[in-house]
Amino acid sequence: MLDFIKNTFSSVLGTLIALFIMGFMALTSLILIAQVLQDPVPQVPDNSLLVVDLSLSINDKPPTVTIDQAIEEAIMASHMERVGLRNLLNTIAFAKSDERIKGIFLQGNLQSVNFGSGYAAIREVRAALEDFKTSGKEIYAYVLNAMPRDYYLMSVADKVAMNPFGEIFFNGMGVEMTFYANALEKWGIGVQPVRAGKFKSGIEPFVQDRMSEENRLQVTEMIENLWASMAEASAESRGIPVGQLNAAANRDRSFRAEQALETGLVDELVYFDEVLQQLKEITGDDPDERTVTQVDLADYMRANRGNESSGSDNKVAVVYVEGVIVGGEGQYDQAGAKKIARRLRDVRLDDSVKAVVLRVNSPGGGAQASENIQREVRLLRGSKPVVASMGYVAASGGYWVSTYADRIFAQPNTITGSIGVFGIIFNVQEIAENFGLTWDYATTHDYAGSWTITRPQTEGEMAQLRETTEWYYERFLQKVAESRDMEIEYIDSVAQGRIWMGQEALRVGLVDEIGGLDEAIAEAVEMAGLDSDYRVVDYPRAHHLEEVIQAILEDRELDVSFDPSRRIARRLENELEWLKAFDDPGGIYLLPDIHFQLF
């Protein structure tokens, strides 16, 4: 017995010592990582060119660098993957009056992470670059291979150069959708859907093998509007008649270098070394110098971190709803209802917050999760001004959370509306039976266990799911009618799950103003009567690596979700991420059909 006690004690003591050593090593590692990765604040040389490599995702929500991301970026020597929209806009505005900056150089191809680099955000960045040019400073762009959104942004430049072997894919827009119905049938996975609204197409990929006519109509209108806004702006910047640009875009699959030059999309065909020589003329560098005096976007942002802080006690809070809306806290790339509701509650109870901008870049998600966010918006509206600012997409559940704002702003190319509801329940009975799995049931009541996925729904269960879906749709209509002060019959006529672009949404009364995030903030400031005595605070705000590590060491929480997963590599995996959105306890969803590939 004594030996047993000794052995047990030794084992426990050894385990405690091992845990202590592991904890000490982890703590030491964190400190070392912080020291290694925390570079000194970059210096911005005089007569610098601000180099903006577009190989990043412009997201509405400010990015947070988590430890796993920092380690991977240090090992892979990767560049900035995400940048917050407001931070980018402020950086361009600051560079406009910064005497150290002589111009901007654009290159690279935009990326999209979690609805980032959407057309509404790019429109705002393009407007900021237009404003930058009023300073008399030049913008220079260099094209190697450009997709539509890349060229749309680059066309704002004073001079657009192109590699002699490059291509520009600025030849219209299309939509490619993946349909799973046939695959699900072959796999033996059953799908039982209901929907309210004839345009509510979010369930179509799971039950059809092609678009419905209603969906084809709204998707066609959407891409026609997107293309028209891009083509008109690009044609104006390049001094090309838009009809001529459209005719040229209709002739070939892409513009090769000579065609791009002939059409007027670019000014010259040069190699990169020749570009460097031209850029030296802007910075005043000696032609024999190895490179150009420059500062890249990431370093420039770090060097100017904190410049926008006014020190005012009056805050205008920007609360971000970005990603698919889910219950609970959600992952970093999701709009967790519990987390967002807590932020809205915090700003409501914070007397220093005088006005709130709700920035929405979300296709919606679970009905209950969307309602939890909307409840806090309604409570907030009763105590201080609330302005909704719609980004790339604020549809279905994204519209649900926005509708009670005092004013709603959208860009002309914002995807919004989709006021409709669908319900969907999967069952795996057939595929399970193929592997020899079966289930049997014992219940106390007729509808006990009705949410199982091991069998198809009964006729009675489907009837009640239809009733619930209709109930949610009616409540959706009521909420929009009440918040927009319109007749419910009219709202029903423009609802039906139909997607509207921002300009059309303004026409039918679903939004109040056309404008971006800056315009929404200005409206909130005016409604609160703040004049110039205010500062803008992001919720969540960006947390840098040193802050994250310091918070861990101090056992202090930050308003950020830690997610060790990285960006999904393959498109199919990206599309299947949508399945994670189907977490609503009632099986009712406020999602439009936004899970398609634009090209």
The pLDDT confidence band at residue 502, using thresholds 50, 70 and 90, is very high
**Residues 6+ away with beta carbon under 8 Å from 70:** 33, 37, 545
Q: How confident is the model at residue 303 (pLDDT cuts 50, 70, 90)?
A: confident
Average pLDDT over residues 208-224: 92
Average pLDDT in the 194-201 region? Answer: 86
Would you say 271 and 163 are in contact if contact means Cβ atoms under 8 Å apart? Answer: yes
Residue 362 and residue 325 in contact, taking contact as beta carbons nearer than 8 Å = yes
Please, are residues 326 and 336 in contact by the beta-carbon 8 Å criterion? yes
In the beta sheet, which residues pair with residue 53?
A: 107
Catalytic residue among 117, 201, 362, 396: 396
Give the pLDDT band (50/70/90) at residue 390: very high
Q: Where are the alpha helices (DSSP H) in 419-458?
A: 429-434
3-class DSSP state of 418: coil
Quick: pLDDT tens for 374-389.
999 999 998 999 999 9
Alpha helices in 264-304 (DSSP H): 272-283, 297-303
Query: pLDDT tens digit string along 400-417?
Result: 999 999 999 999 999 999
User: What is the chain's mean pLDDT, rounded?
Assistant: 84
Q: Is 200 a catalytic residue?
A: yes
The most confident of the ranges 35-44, 63-72, 152-161, 323-332 is 152-161
Is residue 225 within 8 Å of residue 413, measured between CB atoms? yes
354 is catalytic: no
CA distances from 32 to 26, 64, 69 (A): 10, 20, 16
Rounded to an integer, what distance in angstroms lies between the CA atom of residue 441 and that of residue 435?
Answer: 19
Q: Quick one: pLDDT at residue 192?
A: 87
- For residue range 139-187, list pLDDT tens digits in order: 999 999 999 999 999 999 999 999 999 999 999 998 888 999 999 988 9
**In which region does residue 140 sit, left (phi positive, over 0), alpha (psi from -120 to 50) or beta (all else)?**
beta
pLDDT at 77 over 50: no
In this prediction, residue 93 carries a pLDDT of 95
Per-residue pLDDT, 29: 52
What pLDDT is attached to residue 579?
Answer: 56
pLDDT for position 202: 82
Higher pLDDT, 86 or 18: 86
Phi, psi at residue 268, to the nearest 5°?
-160, 160
The answer for residues whose C-beta is within 8 angstroms of residue 418's C-beta and 6 or more apart is 199, 200, 363, 364, 395, 396, 399, 497, 498, 499, 591, 592
Could you tell me the pLDDT band of residue 333, with boundaries at 50, 70 and 90?
A: confident
At residue 570 the predicted structure's pLDDT band, cuts being 50, 70 and 90, is very low
Which residue in 494, 516, 506, 515 sits closest to 418, CA to CA? 494
pLDDT of residue 266: 97
pLDDT of residue 110: 93
- Among 57-66, 84-93, 469-478, where is mean pLDDT lowest? 57-66
Instruction: Calculate what percentage of the chain has a pLDDT beyond 70.
Output: 80
What is the pLDDT at residue 267?
Answer: 97
What is the predicted pLDDT for the residue at 562? 38
Q: Tens digits of per-residue pLDDT, 39-48?
A: 567 788 899 9
pLDDT, average across residues 433-462: 88
Residue 63 predicted with pLDDT over 90:
no
Q: Residue 174 is which amino acid?
A: G
According to the model, what pLDDT value does residue 472 have? 93
Closest CA to 68 of 552, 516, 580: 552
The first and second tokens of residue 202, run together, are: 């979010």
Residue 132 CB partners (closer than 8 Å, separation 6+): 92, 93, 95, 96, 104, 139
pTM: 0.81
Q: Is the pLDDT of residue 76 over 50?
A: no
Q: Is the pLDDT of residue 27 over 80?
A: no
Structure tokens belonging to residue 428: 């795996």
Active-site option among 96, 102, 137, 200: 200
Q: Is the pLDDT of residue 124 over 90?
A: yes
Please, are residues 390 and 580 in contact by the beta-carbon 8 Å criterion? no
- Residue 392 pLDDT more than 50? yes
Q: How confident is the model at residue 563 (pLDDT cuts 50, 70, 90)?
A: very low
By three-state DSSP, how is residue 579 classified?
helix
Q: Is 536 exposed, middle or buried (0-12, 13-18, 19+ CB in 10 A)?
A: buried
**Rounded to an integer, what distance in angstroms lies between the CA atom of residue 253 and that of residue 269?**
20
Average the pLDDT over each of 195-209, 357-371, 372-386 and give the range with the smallest value: 195-209
Answer for the pair 140, 278: CB distance below 8 angstroms, yes or no.
yes
Confidence of residue 568 (pLDDT cuts 50, 70, 90): very low
Mean pLDDT of 267-291: 90
Q: What fold is seen in the domain 315-427+486-594?
A: 2-enoyl-CoA Hydratase; Chain A, domain 1 (3.90.226)
**Structure tokens given for 537:** 């605070």
Are 500 and 508 within 8 A, CB to CB? yes
Instruction: Dig out the tokens for 75 from the structure.
Output: 């090992």
Instruction: Report pLDDT digits (tens) over 427-445.
Output: 988 888 888 998 888 889 8
Burial of 298 (0-12, 13-18, 19+ CB in 10 A): middle
What's residue 113's pLDDT? 84
The three-state secondary structure class of 57 is strand
To 10 degrees, the CA torsion angle through 416, 419, 425, 426? Answer: -30
Distance (Å, whole) CA 510 – CA 72: 43
| Least-confidence region, from 79-83, 126-130, 167-171 | 79-83
